[in-house]
């Protein structure tokens, strides 16, 4: 069996056991769950905007204000409970919704901050739905919107998008390998003397998701200990933007400093030699003495330009040809 056939058999076996479907399915389920949380938060945000436009205001009074602590196997959760009374058209109403976003946290100071704002007996302004006065709320300001959740959800988005992206790219590579029976690459630069091939599957997007997710995960703890859930909009956007910026900067630096060198293969046509052994191809080229290029047009057009398929073949002393890789580019060489 030839070297190339051995490599093909190894790659087919690996492809058959590659859990592409499981990766994509898990990523899809993960993202649907995260999007469900996004939908809930967006709905709550819409309710605030709607209340600002439609709700009417009446005076009210706080009748109960305390921190509710509940302990389970995951720890203790603290939730602010504020009850108040108000009248609309002579009818009394009682509500315990101080904000559109009411949830417990593991930090008591967040709940206590709300309780301190609404002590028992305090005269307050109540906003109620004129179509249903029992629907009431106290705080409709930006202070009541937990913008810190933007930061909290960022790692979950990165994990889901990374899994989906990895599954899609792996599937495309697998399908392309089945079609071409070789490794695909793009032509980065070509001259009559040499050709530079650059790996088309450099996973810079995975580095982006990893760095963005990790930096936002670390930022969650820094922000939680420093500000709790009271982080305001501008500060939250600045922190999330910094995490995304780090996610863009790191893969860019990696590609400039290391990625370009490791993912490139230089072929010198005059000496018919490689400048380095293409380790990523999983093919031994010790017996290759000559390199040939076979160019063929395709029916594909990219940006209204014809797309060419260049098959690089290594010829051994015995005359046997080994397909080393298939490069695709705009122009015919």
How far apart CA 97 and CA 83 sit, in angstroms, is 7
How far apart CA 307 and CA 302 sit, in angstroms, is 6
Give the model's pLDDT for residue 17. 41
Give the model's pLDDT for residue 120. 93
Residue 260: both structure tokens together? 């370009």
Cβ atoms 24, 171 nearer than 8 A:
yes
How far apart CA 281 and CA 263 sit, in angstroms, is 11
Question: Model confidence over 157-202: pLDDT tens digits?
Answer: 888 888 887 777 777 666 655 555 444 445 556 677 776 665 555 5
pLDDT per residue as tens, the chain (333 positions): 233 333 333 344 444 445 566 777 787 888 889 899 888 888 888 888 888 899 999 999 999 999 988 888 878 888 899 999 999 988 999 999 888 887 777 778 888 888 999 999 999 999 999 999 989 999 888 777 777 788 888 899 888 888 887 777 777 666 655 555 444 445 556 677 776 665 555 567 788 888 998 998 888 888 766 666 667 777 888 888 999 999 999 888 877 765 544 456 666 666 656 655 444 443 444 556 676 777 777 777 766 777 777 777 777 767 777 676 666 666 654
Residue 276 burial by CB count (10 A; 0-12/13-18/19+): exposed, middle or buried?
exposed
Question: Model confidence over 10-62: pLDDT tens digits?
Answer: 344 444 445 566 777 787 888 889 899 888 888 888 888 888 899 999 999 99
In Å, how far are 83, 121, 138, 149 from 67, measured between CA atoms? 12, 16, 17, 21
Give the model's pLDDT for residue 85. 95
Give the model's pLDDT for residue 293. 74
Strand, coil or helix: what is 143? helix
Give which of 287, 34, 29, 20 is closest to 156, Cα–Cα.
34
Give the model's pLDDT for residue 278. 46
Question: Cα 258 from chain centroid?
Answer: 23
How far apart CA 137 and CA 221 sit, in angstroms, is 30
Cβ atoms 125, 140 nearer than 8 A:
no
Residue 239 burial by CB count (10 A; 0-12/13-18/19+): exposed, middle or buried?
buried
How far apart CA 230 and CA 117 sit, in angstroms, is 13
- Considering Cα of 168, then 170, then 173, then 175, what sign does the dihedral take? negative
Q: How far apart are the first and last CA of the chain?
A: 32
Q: Which residues, including other chains, have CB under 8 Å from residue 42's CB and lie 6 or more apart? A: none
Question: Cα 174 from chain centroid?
Answer: 23
How far apart CA 113 and CA 105 sit, in angstroms, is 12
Domain ranges for the chain: 14-35+148-177+202-262, 56-139
Strand, coil or helix: what is 263? coil
Measured over all CA atoms, what is the biggest interatomic distance in the chain, rounded to whole angstroms?
102
Instruction: Please give the class, per CATH, of domain 56-139.
Output: mainly beta
Strand, coil or helix: what is 304? coil
Cβ atoms 105, 228 nearer than 8 A:
yes
Give which of 191, 172, 201, 214 is closest to 259, Cα–Cα.
201
Give which of 246, 172, 165, 174 is closest to 206, Cα–Cα.
165
The DSSP symbol for 279 reads: G
Residue 126: both structure tokens together? 């109540």
Give the model's pLDDT for residue 283. 43
């Amino acid at each position: 069996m030839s070297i190339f056939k051995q490599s093909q058999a190894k790659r087919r076996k690996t492809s058959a056991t590659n859990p592409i479907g499981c990766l994509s399915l898990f990523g899809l389920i993960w993202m649907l769950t995260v999007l469900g949380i996004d939908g809930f938060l967006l709905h709550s945000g819409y309710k605030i905007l709607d209340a600002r436009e439609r709700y009417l205001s009446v005076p009210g009074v706080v009748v109960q204000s305390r921190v509710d602590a509940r302990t389970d196997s995951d720890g203790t959760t603290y939730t602010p409970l504020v009850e108040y009374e108000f009248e609309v058209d002579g009818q009394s109403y009682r509500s315990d919704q101080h904000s559109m976003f009411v949830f417990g946290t593991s930090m008591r100071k967040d709940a206590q901050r709300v309780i301190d704002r609404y002590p028992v007996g305090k005269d307050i302004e109540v906003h109620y739905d004129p179509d249903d006065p029992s629907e009431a709320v106290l705080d409709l300001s930006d202070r009541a919107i937990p913008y810190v959740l933007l930061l909290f959800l960022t790692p979950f988005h990165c994990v889901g998008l990374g899994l989906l992206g990895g599954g899609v790219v792996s599937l495309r590579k697998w399908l392309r390998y089945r079609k071409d029976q070789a490794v695909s690459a793009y032509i980065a630069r070509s001259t009559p003397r040499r050709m530079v091939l650059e790996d088309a599957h450099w996973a810079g997007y995975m580095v982006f998701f990893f760095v963005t997710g990790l930096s936002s995960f670390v930022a969650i703890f820094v922000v939680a200990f420093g500000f709790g859930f009271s982080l305001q909009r501008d500060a939250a956007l600045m922190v999330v933007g910094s995490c995304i910026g780090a996610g863009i900067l790191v893969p860019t630096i990696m590609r400039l400093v290391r990625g370009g060198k490791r993912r490139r293969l230089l072929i010198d046509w005059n000496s018919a030699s490689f400048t380095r052994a293409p380790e990523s191809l999983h093919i031994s080229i010790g017996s290759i003495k000559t390199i040939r290029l076979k160019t063929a047009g395709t029916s594909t057009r990219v940006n209204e330009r014809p797309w060419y398929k260049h098959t690089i073949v290594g010829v051994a002393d015995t005359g046997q040809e080994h397909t080393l890789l298939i490069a695709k580019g705009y122009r015919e060489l």
